[in-house]
Amino acid sequence: MLLAELQHRVKNILAVVRALANRTAENAETLEDFVAHFDGRLNAMGRTQNILARTAENGVDLADLVHEELLGHAAHFDDQVDVDGPEIKLRPKPAETLGLAIHELATNAVKYGALSTRGGQIKVTWRVDERIGNPRLALEWLESGVPVIDQEPARSGFGRELIERGLPYELQANTALEFRQGGVRCVIELPLNDKIAIREKNR
């Protein structure tokens, strides 16, 4: 099972690298320009793995987690991606699990969604809901501008299983994954307890 999952992850990484190369080549005017941009995006992928692997005592910043993963998938923040939300410090293990879910969403966007077309847009936002006494993190991934999307995909891959089953099991999260006209919408809500996040007492 571990070998099969390793093979799956390698295939995903190779698919992302291929997409990076193709997208970089489309906009490069010279070979030197291509090398510089391609190298930078590969380095971004490496930084993503580093931030997920660290076990820093002050936690993993959610904004850094989202930005690094999207940068690793050749997202153009100036015109294709909008990321916004308050400062949240996640503990290393929950950050790794949530980061993997974001990775799967980004991989899907590169292959089939908003990052597969120049007209696509991704908006990633999150907020803290404290109305019911116990604070909860509500994160939304919203794609738009995708001309064609299978609204009822027959195959349930690793990413969908992770979001719909893995996150509820690992993080006690409530999740919703929709394949809508225009792109994917994913909502992830999870408790901000001491096992999930590092929060200041006065926050």
CATH number, domain at 36?
3.30.565.10
Total count of domains within the chain: 1
- CA–CA distance, 172 with 156 (Å, rounded to integer): 21
In a domain, 159, yes or no: yes
- CA–CA distance, 72 with 68 (Å, rounded to integer): 6
Task: Tell me the CA distances in angstroms from 83 to 26, 67, 76, 89, 146, one per residue in order.
Answer: 25, 8, 12, 16, 19
In a domain, 178, yes or no: yes
Q: Looking at this protein, which amino acid is placed at residue 26? A: E
Query: Do residues 122 and 75 touch, judged by C-beta distance below 8 A?
Result: yes
In a domain, 57, yes or no: yes
Q: Looking at this protein, which amino acid is placed at residue 199? A: R
pLDDT at 101 (0 to 100)? 85
Angle CA 129–193–72, to nearest 5: 80
Residues spanned by the domain of 25? 2-191
pLDDT at 14 (0 to 100)? 78
Helix H or strand E segment including 93: helix 92-111
Exposure of 92 by Cβ count < 10 A (0-12 exposed, 13-18 middle, 19+ buried)?
A: middle
In a domain, 202, yes or no: no
In a domain, 200, yes or no: no
C-beta neighbour count of 68 within 10 angstroms: 22
Of 127, 79, 118, 123, nearest to 105 (Cα)?
123
pTM given for the model: 0.72
- CA–CA distance, 16 with 80 (Å, rounded to integer): 17
pLDDT at 108 (0 to 100)? 84
In a domain, 203, yes or no: no
Per-residue confidence of the chain (203 residues) as pLDDT tens digits? 767 766 766 776 677 678 768 867 876 778 887 887 677 667 656 665 576 555 556 678 899 889 888 876 665 656 788 999 999 988 877 887 888 788 888 878 887 888 888 888 999 999 998 876 789 999 999 999 988 776 666 556 667 888 998 899 989 999 999 988 889 999 999 999 999 998 765 44
3-state DSSP assignment of residue 124: strand
Helix H or strand E segment including 45: helix 31-53
Per DSSP bridges, beta strands 121-129 and 81-84 are parallel
